[in-house]
Amino acid sequence: MNINEIGTPLIQVQNLGKKFGDMEVLKDISVDIYKGDVVCVIGPSGSGKSTFLRCLNRLEEPSGGHILFEGTDIVDKKTDIDKHRQKMGMVFQQFNLFPHMTILKNLTLAPIKLQGKSSKEAEEQALKLLDKVGLKDRANAYPNQLSGGQKQRIAIVRALCMNPDVMLFDEPTSALDPEMVGEVLNVMRELAEEKMTMVVVTHEMGFAKEVATRVMFMDGGYFMEENEPVEFFENPKNDRLKLFLSKVL
Amino acid sequence: MWEKLRDDFYQNFIVDDRWKYIVDGLQNTLKITFFAVLIGILLGFVVAIIRSTYENTGKLKILNAICSVYLTVIRGTPVVVQLMIMYFIIFAFHDPGQIFTAILAFGINSGAYVAEIFRSGISSIERGQFEAGRSLGFNYAQTMLFIIMPQAFKNVVPTLANEFIVLLKETSVAGYIGLQDLTKGGDIIKSRTYNAFMPLISVAIIYLIMVMVFSYLVTLLERRLHKSEH
């Protein structure tokens, strides 16, 4: 029993499927994500982890099933997905900061244009969050002047500036130099401590073990095993998971 | 030698106020180029958006087909033929004026090239930029406007500038519909004085100066735009 399971789930994934042509990448996936959950999704490459995450905000169009986000089925074509995406922050492996804007512009663009905040209001919030990740002095720099770790911290702040209800992380440290992984994981750890709901696709087993409330193992388009972290890593049941863990740990 | 040049200059430009052919012609050339560039940018922008939207989303199928025909026909025929078709066939019974006809013909012609330049600019932006915009909650049009287009524009400035240099020089065929542009002005002087050297070299130098000034301005613009890429 998950301690967070109170009330209705924030995200309910029901029988989610995704095909690319004839290739079935996700097969009939159902999972509930509750407020305050930190769900880490691990698995071998090509297992469908990123596709699963990208289906959650419909960057990939699901081929079947339903995703209820705060009670609304966002797979339904009639749903205004743009509205709901404002509540789902996303962080990418390649950062995807906007190179033609300063950091501050990167952070305030969406709040100003989409939430109707004044630039003063948006900037105040952005600077506050920048300060929290230790990058306030870079507010007027351009993305290309920053290191990978700094860029990713900014990307996290950019998503946070929209005050999302859930944060989706797509292998946020995979494109980083090893010495920069820690600074990004620290920001994510703080976020988890503040009870942000997070879904994290990652290869960082240490992070999953330490921060996750639930860890899920994906292979071949299914979730093969799901458990709270201690049990998941110390007492795996699925053979494929055992094999996977023996290789990565 | 200097004596002869001075005499030629006097004959070709001073006598009968012949310099006016050059000045009037230059004005027409600039007028045609300026407005044709505006039409070209507008048309090219719209066509590029339609084509890119179709490529990305599969929407706007019919508009995309129309655009394809437009690009094929315009890029597949010489501009001077298009100009003459416009003047002698399309406007055969209703003459809106040679300048207007030329602006329209060159504008429509330039639009096809500008469209392809913009489209290549848009597709040069990596997909992650688009996804980042959409994931924040921007719709397709907003993502294009705030995130993709500014970067695409920056990438295509040199190619775009080159297109306008080509356009400026291409307007020299405007004489085919009896319009007196810079080239035609020099040509008229030549036919009056039976002297080719002075008027034609002068015309060439004027084109050259215009292109050089324009290129310099583009360099300044590029430098400004690339400020963010230290």
Q: What is the 3 state secondary structure string of chain A? A: CCCCCCCCCCEEEEEEEEEECCEEEEEEEEEEECCCCEEEEECCCCCCHHHHHHHHCCCCCCCEEEEEECCEECCCCCCCHHHHHCCEEEECCCCCCCCCCCHHHHHHHHHHHHHCCCHHHHHHHHHHHHHHCCCHHHCCCCHHHCCHHHHHHHHHHHHHCCCCCEEEEECCCCCCCHHHHHHHHHHHHHHHHCCCEEEEECCCHHHHHHHCCEEEEEECCEEEEEECHHHHHHCCCCHHHHHHHHHHC
Count A/B contacts: CB-CB distance under 8 Å: 66
Pick from A55-69, A100-114, A117-131, B11-25: least confident: B11-25
pLDDT digits (tens, 9 = 90+) for B91-127: 999 889 999 999 999 999 999 999 999 999 999 999 9
Interface residues of A toward B, Cβ cutoff 8 Å, are 57, 59, 82-83, 85-86, 88-90, 92, 94, 96-102, 109-110, 113-114, 142, 144-145, 158-159, 162
Can you give the residue ranges of every domain in chain A?
11-246
CB contacts of A175 in chain B (<8 Å) are none
Spatial distance between the Cα atoms of A205 and B88, rounded to a whole number of angstroms: 75
Give contacts of B136 with chain A, Cβ < 8 Å: 85-86, 109-110, 114, 158-159, 162
Show the tokens assigned to A22: 């004839």
Contacts of B228 in chain A (CB under 8 A): 99-102, 142, 144
Instruction: Pick A1 or A133 by higher pLDDT.
Output: A133
Note the pLDDT tens digit of each residue in A64-79.
Answer: 999 999 999 999 999 9
pLDDT at A143 (0 to 100): 96
pLDDT band at B68 (very low <50, low <70, confident <90, very high): very high
Fold designation for A11-246: Rossmann fold (3.40.50)
Of residues A143, A100, A104, the one with CA closest to residue B224: A100
Stretch B57-66: mean pLDDT, rounded?
93
Whole-number pLDDT of residue A5? 52
Cα B78 to the chain's mean position, in Å? 14
Is a pLDDT exceeding 50 seen at residue B182?
Answer: yes
Q: Tell me: the pLDDT tens digits for A108-138?
A: 999 999 999 999 999 999 999 999 999 999 9
Task: Report d(CA A192, CA A212) in Å as an integer.
Answer: 8
The whole-angstrom distance between A94's CA and the closest CA on chain B is: 8
Mean pLDDT calculated for residue range A222-242 = 94
CB contact under 8 A, A92 and B146: no
Weakest-pLDDT range from A90-94, B2-6, B105-109, B211-215:
B2-6
The B residues from 104 to 133 touching A (CB cutoff 8 Å) are: 126, 128-129, 131-132
Q: Is B150 on the interface with A (CB under 8 A)?
A: yes
| CA closest to A99 among chain B residues | B228
The minimal CB distance from A100 to the residues B126, B136, B228 is found for: B228
DSSP classification of residue B147: I
| Residue (of A167, A155, A47) closest to A101 by Cα position | A155
Q: How confident is the model at residue A8 (pLDDT cuts 50, 70, 90)?
A: confident
Report pLDDT for B9.
87
A4-13, A111-120, A195-204, A234-243: least confidently modelled range? A4-13
Share of chain A above pLDDT 90, in %: 93
pLDDT score for A1: 42
Q: What percent of chain A has pLDDT over 70?
A: 98
Q: How many residues does chain B have?
A: 230
pLDDT value of residue B229? 59
Contact A109 B146 (CB under 8 A): yes
Q: How many CB atoms lie within 10 A of CB A2?
A: 14
Q: Do B138 and A97 touch (CB under 8 A)?
A: no
d(CA A136, CA B228): 18
Query: Residue A7 — very low, low, confident or very high, per pLDDT cuts 50/70/90?
Result: confident
> Closest approach of chain A CAs to the CA of B127, in angstroms?
9
State what percent of residues in chain B have pLDDT above 70: 98
A96 closest CA partner among B144, B3, B134, B112 = B134
Per-residue model confidence (pLDDT) at position B151: 94
Whether B137 sits inside 8 A of A83 (CB atoms) is: yes
Token pair listed for B191: 């036919």
Q: CA-CA distances (angstroms) from residue B209 to B23, B205, B213, B215? A: 15, 6, 6, 10
The total number of residues shown for chain A amounts to 249
The whole-chain average pLDDT of chain A stands at 94
Q: Tell me if chain A has a CB within 8 Å of the CB of B137.
A: yes
Interface test mutation site (partner A, options B135, B146, B224, max chain A beta carbons within 10 A): B135
- Give mean pLDDT, residues B25-47: 96
Identify all chain B residues contacting A94, using CB atoms and an 8 Å cutoff. 126, 128
User: CATH code for B14-229?
Assistant: 1.10.3720.10
ipTM of the complex: 0.92
Query: Which own/partner contact pairs does B7-13 have at CB distance under 8 Å and 24+ positions apart?
Result: B8/B195, B8/B197, B8/B198, B9/B198, B11/B193, B11/B195, B11/B198, B12/B189, B12/B193, B12/B195, B12/B198, B12/B199, B12/B202, B13/B189, B13/B198, B13/B202
The pLDDT, as a whole number, for residue A6 is 61
Contact B137 A82 (CB under 8 A): yes
Q: What is the per-residue pLDDT across A146-166, written as a single tens digit (0 to 9) for each? A: 999 999 999 999 999 999 999
A144, B132: Cβ pair inside 8 Å? no
Q: Do A100 and B154 touch (CB under 8 A)?
A: yes
Give me the sign of the Cα torsion angle A79, A85, A91, A93. positive
Closest Cα in chain B to A160: B136
